[in-house]
Chain A
Amino acid sequence: MENRPLEYDYTVAKMFMVTTIVLGIVGMSIGVFIAFELAFPGLNTIFGQGIAEYTNFSRLRPLHTDAVAFGFTLSGIFATWYYVGQRVLKVSMAESKFLMLIGKLHFWLYVLGVAAAVVTLFMGYSTSKEYAEFEWPIDIAIVVVWVLWGVSIFGLIGIRREKSLYISVWYYIATFLGVAMLYLFNNMEVPTMLATSAAGETGIGSWLHSVSMYAGTNDALVQWWYGHNAVAFVFTVPIVAMIYYFLPKESGQAIYSYKLSLLSFWGLMFVYLWAGGHHLLYSTVPDWMQTMGSIFSVVLILPSWGSAINMLLTMKGEWQQVAASPLIKFMVLGSTFYMFSTLEGPIQAIKSVNAIAHFTDWIVGHVHDGTLGWVGFMIIAALYHMAPRVFKRELYSKSLMAAQFWIQTLGIVLYFTSMWIAGITQGMMWRAHDEFGNLAYSFMDTVDVLHPYYALRGTGGLLYLIGFFMFAYNIYKTMSARPVEESELQNASPMGA
């Protein structure tokens, strides 16, 4: 026993891999559908006038964002944690019945929470706050799920054999703490059933409804402190955790610089939280806060590029792997998109640029080159790396993976280029005045002009979705293939001698 390598237990990792793929398909399909609704409004009623209330753009939009952020991405984060955590801490989930139970409970409660969120959002129960639309009972369920994940993280850390925490673990811890803080404060709300009328009636109206603890400008401030940092602690920090593990593992290269990873980690932690103010430029929040938001957004380039450059330099001297392996391609292009996106963001956060960009599709484009190019690619790469190891089977098809890579890359390029043009065009048209100082365009003029870009964006999204289906198929075929019969090989002896 002592001399055998540790047998890691991937039960929970496998469960979350399934939800990553299923919820990815759900969220991205809705995304493609609503993208085409903007290009071809007739699609709002394509499933019949009777259920149009549930299939029109406005009802589906929060479902798309929440399904990809809290369905696909969170599942991916959990799946990789239950894989990476054991391996870098040198301890197996099988060693602790308690942690195994917590892990499974974590999974099933998460699934329950997702189901409740989907049903209530379809029905129109919403707090209206972006990426925090869920009403209070679901918020409580989410907190419980999150605490269970925390128990998993710190439980595993508690029984670890490797004393020093690997860089990925830093980022997972930060994800846990950051989201916990943000989510709690942003979702402070009072259920309306607690109020009493003068006649003594209580529990009036819908028990699901609640009122935000904050009003107006304060509410906006807390929401975008949350909203921006949900991007930080769901779309950045845990994804960096993944690349710090999977890129060195897959390429066989050591991390380029430990010091750079230190600088990037603590830099990112300190700077990111300030940047939320850039969502509120020229709004009614105080000027100094807007300026801070702008400045720190630009400073944020440093720690972001620190991580990305650290990753790219990890490939130093081994660039032929990028050509040879589609899996390395996903990760290297992922880091490149991360660099690209973390340069684009600060540019948009500069006040004069933001004056044009805010409220337009350029912002939507920015979000998607980050999420499709960086988050999506990295989770896909992580699952591709994990699949042969957790299912103990060879990956079904490498050429399918390569084809997927190119199709999705084309999709992303179509997506962000069309949204750039759409956003800047609309921003410029909104502010254009004619020679007499009157507005040059009606609002409708600025909508009409977007049609080709909306169609192109939908096409880009569709290509990405097709690639995602190829990914799902590839993983499915890997899972369901005949197992590699290692044990038989070991015991085989020629002629039974």
Chain B
Amino acid sequence: MFHWLEKHPFFFAVGVFVVIAFAGLIEIVPNFAQASRPVIGTKPYTTLELAGRQVYIKNSCNACHSQLIRPFKAETDRYGHYSLSGEYAYDRPFLWGSKRTGPDLHRVGNYRTTEWHENHMMDPAAIVQGSIMPAYPWMFTNKADIDTAFAEQLTDQQFFGVPYNKPVPMKDGTTQTVKLAKSVAEAHADALAEAKEVASKMKNQDVKDAVARGEIPEIVALIAYLNSLK
């Protein structure tokens, strides 16, 4: 049979394809129906948080920081409850990372504050002695891309049925609704309102001035995102 295949490239190629596609079919397809159900307390990202998530990706934070707490005592001691599948239901893409050059960030919102992030992103080594993380001063001047974040929310809702403008259940039995703006202008206004709240806890005068002027520096969006990781 193999000699015959070697003289018939078409059937050879078909054979190879079937053999390599087999594992994917068995492994991946059945899981799809199950894994994307959100756990209670997981809600979609706001415009500002999503803009911050894009800043996180733009700067490859995931190259050094994981967002996956494994079910080991050492990890739950260090980072909090181990990660659950449903907590990632609205993560497109997933940001688990593959290397922990720095600590895990899946629940960083539980134990770091706006002020801490602000100082740390400006000069990590000044906050954590010996840190090898680079500084990210440009995040204090670059503007967050609210338009694209809004477009991403719309895509999430229209193509993937992410429940914006719908009540989602919280752990305390209440519900919360994450608003999706009706227009770009409204999305900007909403994001700015959220940004003002973050900026009110920050010290950097340039950032505060920018937000007062109606601009949203990347750092504000990033902090909003990091604070949402709980």
Contact = CB atoms under 8 A, between A and B. Distances in A.
Interface residues of B, number: 94
A165 B12 contact: yes
Given A38-B132, A225-B28, A270-B19, A128 B62 contact: yes
Nearest to A279: B98
Contacts of B152: 192, 205, 209, 211
Interface residues on A, range: 35 or more
A205 B64 CA distance: 28
B135 A44 contact: yes
A204 B24 contact: no
B31 A177 contact: no
A10 interface: no
B77 A439 contact: yes
B203 interface: no
Interface stretch (B99-107, B108-116, B206-214, B222-230): B99-107
A433 B74 contact: yes
Interface string B194-224: 0000000000000000000000000000000
Contacts of A165: 6-7, 9, 12
Interface stretch (A1-9, A48-56, A410-418): A48-56
Interface string B130-171: 111111111000000101111110111111100000000000
A199 B90 CA distance: 24
Interface in B31-67: 31-32, 34-36, 54, 57-64, 66
Contacts, number: 275
Interface string A402-436: 00000000000000000000000000001111000
Contacts of A215: 36, 88-92, 94, 160
Contacts of A443: 78, 102-103
A228 to B, nearest CB: 11
B83 A41 contact: no
In the A-B complex, list the 6 residue pairs whose CB atoms are closest, starting with the nearest: A216-B88, A205-B148, A195-B154, A273-B23, A199-B183, A205-B147
Interface of A: 37-38, 41, 44-45, 49, 52-53, 56-59, 61-62, 124-130, 154, 157, 163-165, 170, 173-174, 177-178, 181, 185, 190, 192-199, 201, 204-206, 209, 211-212, 214-223, 225, 262, 266, 269-270, 272-274, 276-277, 279, 282-286, 289, 292, 296, 355, 358-361, 363-364, 430-433, 438-439, 443-444, 447-448
Interface of B: 2-3, 6-7, 9, 12-13, 16-17, 19-24, 27-28, 31-32, 34-36, 54, 57-64, 66, 68, 70-75, 77-78, 83-103, 125, 128-138, 145, 147-152, 154-160, 181-184, 186-187
